[in-house]
Amino acid sequence: MISKLKNDRLLRALWREPVDATPIWIMRQAGRYLPEYRELRQRAGSFLALCQTPELACEATLQPLRRFELDAAILFSDILTVPDAMGLGLEIVEKHGPRFETPVRSRADIEKLAVPDPGSELRYVLDAIRLIRADLDGAVPLIGFAGSPWTIATYMVEGGPSKDYALIKGMLYADPASLHRLLAIVAEAVTVYLNAQIAAGVQVVQIFDTWGGILSPPAYGEFSLDYMQRIIAGLETDAGGTKVPVILFSKGCAPLAEQIADAGAAAVGVDWTADIGEVRRRIGNKAAVQGNLDPAVLYAPAEIIRREAASVLEAYGPHRGHVFNLGHGIQPGVDPDKVAVLVDAVHELSRSYHAS
């Protein structure tokens, strides 16, 4: 499968094979910082319509690749499509964020939930994947993704973004059995969904555990990592029998990188608050590492962007298994030209680390 791609740097880095330059992709690379995205979003009428119309989702996915020499495409979608397909009634409220019409608050609410059939209820995602793969024509790999069960459950229980996560944490400490039941159902839904994405053509999978970092270390293991491990263990190979590498990104959890690597992830994603060199040393040969430039560096002049990119590359050093990324999604106010500076800097400045 690697050999069929014109640019296989990402897959090579994920499997810790030699590369000519460090691959780079950017979380939320298809997004609001691009004027052509804003135009497309306008045309779609709403964010959800954009996600749910395969031709438009395909277009959004491909937009950043026309501008920048990125080493991967990532499916344009949202982690909350899964609970939406479970019947919670997702809406995106301007300047507020996602909101569920019927949040999950009780054991009875949980018992009513069913694992959606991706082939029907999330078919629009699978159709988008097939369109994107056809359009990419092997130029770069396509990354699929899902939210972690813990992160998805956080939104399902809180009903939207939260400042203190009082409801789900209340459940965690006061009624852990119910939370485990909820997480088991979501983990099953995510497993089935990611297998459908793989069957439709994604070549890499990232699990976004945006809220793993609000847990104490033992709670993270029990309520977040265990379920991600279960998902990874349940993933099938692609149509050609090839194993699909999983990038596991638990924001704020770099101190637990070794545990994350042990959960079966091909790569551990780390945010910018970690020292990526130290993470690599701790993980050793267990997994690749993805990260970890502070997204705010993209507000700086070009020479600072190059300097900070160089500093991340240097921290990682001349080792296999580095996938360059920001430590979190790109911010909407960034000038797209700065992204070109970053992508080119990573390719150019990393070559010396890979020469042998």
Candidates 172, 186, 205, 260: give the one binding a second copy (CB under 8 A).
172
Within residues 126-145, the interface with a second copy by CB under 8 A covers: none
CA distance 223 to 203: 27
Spell out where the chain has E strands: 73-74, 90-93, 97-100, 142-147, 204-209, 246-250, 267-269, 288-293, 322-326
Tokens for 103, please give them: 């949040």
What is the C-alpha to C-alpha distance for residues 103 and 79, in angstroms, rounded to an integer? 16
Annotated active-site residue in 37, 155, 193, 227: 155
Is 130 designated active site?
no
**What single DSSP character describes residue 24?**
B
Contact between 1 and a second copy by CB under 8 A: the answer reads no
Nearby residues of 235 by Cβ (< 8 Å), 6 or more positions away: 191, 194, 195, 198, 205, 244, 246
Among 184, 296, 310, 340, binds a second copy (CB under 8 A): 296
* Contacts (CB under 8 A) with a second copy, residues 24-43: none
Instruction: Give the range of 7-15, 111-119, 127-135, 163-171 binding a second copy by CB under 8 A.
Output: 163-171
How far apart, in whole angstroms, are the C-alpha atoms of residue 226 and residue 183? Answer: 10
Site stretch for a second copy (CB under 8 A), options 186-194, 203-211, 251-259, 317-325: 251-259
Stretch 313-352 residues interacting with a second copy (CB under 8 A): 327, 331, 333
Q: Does position 308 bind a second copy by CB under 8 A? A: yes
Pairing of the two strands 97-100 and 204-209 = unpaired
Interactions with a second copy, residue window 177-216 (CB under 8 A): 213-216
Shortest distance in whole angstroms from residue 332 CB to a second copy: 8
Nearer to a second copy, 140 or 215 (CB): 215
- What are the E-state strand segments in 101-250? 142-147, 204-209, 246-250
32 is catalytic: yes
Nearby residues of 200 by Cβ (< 8 Å), 6 or more positions away? 125, 126, 129, 130, 133
Closer residue to a second copy in complex, CB, 4/96 = 96
Contact letters for a second copy, residues 263-292 (x by CB under 8 A): ---------xxxx-----------------
For the four alpha carbons of 57, 272, 23 and 256, in that order, the dihedral sign comes to negative
The neighbour count for residue 50, using CB atoms within 10 Å, is 22
Q: d(Cα 276, Cα 107) in Å, to the nearest integer?
A: 41
Residue 119 Cβ vs a second copy, minimum distance, rounded to whole Å: 36
Should residue 222 be labelled a site residue for a second copy when binding is judged by CB under 8 A?
no
252 near a second copy, rule: CB under 8 A: yes
Size of the site for a second copy (CB under 8 A): 36
The residues assigned a catalytic role are 28, 32, 41, 78, 155
Binding residues for a second copy, rule: CB under 8 A, are 164-166, 169-170, 172-174, 213-220, 252, 254-255, 272-275, 294-297, 299-301, 304, 308, 311, 327, 331, 333
